[in-house]
């Protein structure tokens, strides 16, 4: 028997398809305000790049230390505190260049190049009183985001993303060239001193939807900010400006003034909203301890969800493509076997011809002769240029060829069936691993396919060894409890099945799996010397039936045995095992607790 895992049925994550809220000017001002209050000056102790869009600066003051993330991600560019990076070698050149230029300097300056532009300059000096020796410009501008290192004179030393003259004739960013700020904004600068009438006339200059009018009239706004502002005023951003009443203009102007006051006084109220987050206190469903805590949690969750979707799509396409090829191979081999099964019939036709050598066959394409046993006429195809004996010899030769084809195709078909079984289980698991929390499980499948050569490997990748990862229990096992209080563990991918069956299981436990049906490995854990009762066995059988490819069936055959009777033959893919001394029991997927 061959067994492979199948994950539990789950819905796609609640945030599936949700776009990432960009870090706008207001959020960037709030984040920088928190940095200025407690992190200037701060010594730079390490630079680490976690991915192709994010670099971390390890800063230390007299009271605290932390990792500051500078991200130029197209959808999640930001400047915020981050979790410590993994203990893996940093292979990115950009972070090494930053450390070479900024190592052991201190962050002494933090300022905006323009009060209404999302470009922050981080100045680094030997001592707090010294002028900066280098500047790190963080441009949080959506898909145009970048991080640029310059010397004190403004000459570019390195960039996270270099922009050639062919890419942008307006603003190339190349090593050795002078740094040029982004082109100046054309919208009007918002001020607290502007009156209601002047502000309303500016916004309503061109009749159009309110949200579009605000974005086109003033600097420093974003789609999320305009949406929050109009909702706080009790308005709809799609309402056209001529349809607003004087009272509605007054409510919106009050919210406008509130926004400007928060930005000017650096007084923010960070928190979660139904659609994302805010730092202005509008529509908060749950407050956050700080702006940086909010940004760290929000972008980690959204980026993990995005990575889950991307990896899930990549793996699903690979598995679907491979299954299609196996299905075509299977059909071809089955057709050949169907033809090979006619070898006996062909040999019988040759016997009839040999029994009637006097029959005239020259010039005929078919002849009918009586069957030896039934006497019924049997139609025999002929070569009109050959005699009966020659046609019989040709039929004997064809029968032998069909027999050899049957012997050659059968093992090939068995190999295709085993491979198809394995890939169908991957497909079943992928259908259930769509939550953000399942990213690590998807990465296990990705590593498994890389190790088998089905996916390209990144530079420096090493094939995982069977001796690695002896951690035993995994936090991602599915946990159940039997009626008598015994733990029941379920593997959710091949790696977990291997750990569950060959590392975690003891001689006192019982191993469950659906009979000849792909599914997860299920382990009923029992204390020493205590046998499992029928209710425990039946519950484990229900769970094994549910976590299998037959979860929609009424009843599913399940086998159980001691883990010591389960083996993984050498050369089998991960998770594919054989077993012996099994006992059959029937499980109902609908009865899974």
In the structure encoding, which two tokens stand for residue 362, read together? 């020259």
> Residue 500, SS3?
helix
Q: What does the pLDDT read at residue 18?
A: 60
> Residue 570, SS3?
coil
In the structure encoding, which two tokens stand for residue 191, read together? 């001020």
> Cα–Cα distance between 232 and 236 in angstroms, integer?
10
Q: Number of C-alpha atoms within 13 angstroms, CB side, residue 521?
A: 35
Query: Residue 524: phi, psi to the nearest 5?
Result: -95, 110
> Cα–Cα distance between 396 and 399 in angstroms, integer?
5
pLDDT(25) > 80 = yes
> Cα–Cα distance between 195 and 253 in angstroms, integer?
9
- What is the mean pLDDT of the segment spanning 225-233? 96
Q: How confident is the model at residue 549 (pLDDT cuts 50, 70, 90)?
A: confident
Question: Left, alpha or beta for 15 (phi > 0: left; psi -120 to 50: alpha)?
Answer: alpha
Rg for the chain, CA atoms, rounded: 35
Q: How confident is the model at residue 425 (pLDDT cuts 50, 70, 90)?
A: confident
> Residue 592, SS3?
coil
- What is the mean pLDDT of the segment spanning 399-419? 83
Q: What is the pLDDT of residues 38-57, one digit of tens each?
A: 899 999 999 999 999 999 99
Total H helices, total E strands in the chain: 12, 22
Q: What does the pLDDT read at residue 179?
A: 96
> Cα–Cα distance between 60 and 349 in angstroms, integer?
92
Contact 150, 127 (CB under 8 A): no
Give the position of tokens 């349809």.
243
Query: Residue 153: phi, psi to the nearest 5?
Result: -90, -5
Q: How many CB atoms lie within 10 A of CB 386?
A: 14
Contact 522, 545 (CB under 8 A): no
Run of H or E residues at 49: strand 42-51
Residues in Cβ contact with 532 at an 8 Å cutoff, skipping those fewer than 6 apart? 482, 486, 510, 524, 526, 540
Contact 273, 285 (CB under 8 A): yes
Counted residue by residue, the chain has a size of 593
Give the position of tokens 């549910």.
546
Q: What does the pLDDT read at residue 465?
A: 63
Q: What does the pLDDT read at residue 202?
A: 95
In the structure encoding, which two tokens stand for residue 321, read together? 């493509």
Contacts by 533-536, CB closer than 8 A, 24 or more apart: 533/483, 533/484, 535/482, 535/483, 535/484, 536/482, 536/483, 536/484, 536/486
pLDDT(551) > 90 = no
User: Helix 210-217 crosses helix 196-203 at what angle (to 10 degrees)?
Assistant: 110
Q: How confident is the model at residue 337 (pLDDT cuts 50, 70, 90)?
A: confident
How far is C-alpha 483 from the geometric centre of its chain's CA atoms? 36
Instruction: Considering only residues 558 and 361, tell me which one the structure prediction assigns the higher pLDDT.
Output: 558
Q: What does the pLDDT read at residue 248?
A: 96
**Upstream peptide bond of 343 is cis (omega within 30 degrees of 0):** no
pLDDT(76) > 90 = yes
Give the position of tokens 């295709």.
416
- What is the mean pLDDT of the segment spanning 135-146? 96
Contact 545, 512 (CB under 8 A): no
- Write down the mean pLDDT value for the chain: 88
Q: What is the pLDDT of residues 432-451, one digit of tens each?
A: 787 888 888 998 899 989 98
Give the position of tokens 């068995």.
414
Q: What does the pLDDT read at residue 475?
A: 53
pLDDT(256) > 50 = yes
Q: How many CB atoms lie within 10 A of CB 243?
A: 11
């Amino acid at each position: 028997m061959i067994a492979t895992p199948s994950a539990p049925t789950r819905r796609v994550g609640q945030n599936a398809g949700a776009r990432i809220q960009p870090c706008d000017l207001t959020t960037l001002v709030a984040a920088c305000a928190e940095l200025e209050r407690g992190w200037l000056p701060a010594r730079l102790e390490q630079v680490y790049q976690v991915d192709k869009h994010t670099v971390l600066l390890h800063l230390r003051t007299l009271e605290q230390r932390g990792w500051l993330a500078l991200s130029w991600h197209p959808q999640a560019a930001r400047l915020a505190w981050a979790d410590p990076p993994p203990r893996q070698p940093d292979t990115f050149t950009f972070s090494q260049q930053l450390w070479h230029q900024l190592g052991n300097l201190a962050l002494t300056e933090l300022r905006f190049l323009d009060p209404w532009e999302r470009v922050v300059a981080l100045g680094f000096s030997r001592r707090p009183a010294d002028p900066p020796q280098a500047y790190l410009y963080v441009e949080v501008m959506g898909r145009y985001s970048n991080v640029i290192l310059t010397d004190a004179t403004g000459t570019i030393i390195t960039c996270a993303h270099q922009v050639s003259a062919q890419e942008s004739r307006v603003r190339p960013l190349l090593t050795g060239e002078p740094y040029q700020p982004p082109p100046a904004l054309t919208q009007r600068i918002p001020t607290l001193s502007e009156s209601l009438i002047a502000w309303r006339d500016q916004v309503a200059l061109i009749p159009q939807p309110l949200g579009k009018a605000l974005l086109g009239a003033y600097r420093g706004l974003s789609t999320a900010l305009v949406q929050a502002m109009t909702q706080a005023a009790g308005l709809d951003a799609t309402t056209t400006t001529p349809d607003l009443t004087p009272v509605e203009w007054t409510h919106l102007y009050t919210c406008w003034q509130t926004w400007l006051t928060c930005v000017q006084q650096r007084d923010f109220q960070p928190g979660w909203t139904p659609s994302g987050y805010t730092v202005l206190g509008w529509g908060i469903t749950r407050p956050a301890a700080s702006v940086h805590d909010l940004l760290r949690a929000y972008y980690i969750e959204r980026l993990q969800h995005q990575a889950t979707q991307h990896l899930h799509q990549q793996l699903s396409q690979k598995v679907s493509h491979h299954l299609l090829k196996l299905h075509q191979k299977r059909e071809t081999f089955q057709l050949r076997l169907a033809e090979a099964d006619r070898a006996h019939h062909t040999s019988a036709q040759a016997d009839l011809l040999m029994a009637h050598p006097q029959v005239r066959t020259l010039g005929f394409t078919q002849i009918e002769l009586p069957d030896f046993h039934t006497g019924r006429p049997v139609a025999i195809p002929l070569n009109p240029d050959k005699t009966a004996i020659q046609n019989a010899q040709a039929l004997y030769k064809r029968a032998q060829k069909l027999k050899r084809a049957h012997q050659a195709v059968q093992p090939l078909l068995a190999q295709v069936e085993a491979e198809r079984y394995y890939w169908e289980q991957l497909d079943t698991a992928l259908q259930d691993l769509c939550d953000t929390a399942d990213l690590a499980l998807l990465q296990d499948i990705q590593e498994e396919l890389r190790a088998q050569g089905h996916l390209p490997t990144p530079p420096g990748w090493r094939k995982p060894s069977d001796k690695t990862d002896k951690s035993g229990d995994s936090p991602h096992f599915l946990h159940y409890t039997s009626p008598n209080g015994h733990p029941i563990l379920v593997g959710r991918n091949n790696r977990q099945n291997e750990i569950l069956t060959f590392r975690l299981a003891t001689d006192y436990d019982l191993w469950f799996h659906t009979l000849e049906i792909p599914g997860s490995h299920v382990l009923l854990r029992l204390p020493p010397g205590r046998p499992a009762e029928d209710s425990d066995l039946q519950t484990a059988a229900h769970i094994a039936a549910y976590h299998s490819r037959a979860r929609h069936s009424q009843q599913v055959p399940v086998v159980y045995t001691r883990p010591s009777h389960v083996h993984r033959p050498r050369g089998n893919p991960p998770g594919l095992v054989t077993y012996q001394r099994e006992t059959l029991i029937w499980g109902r997927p609908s009865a899974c607790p």
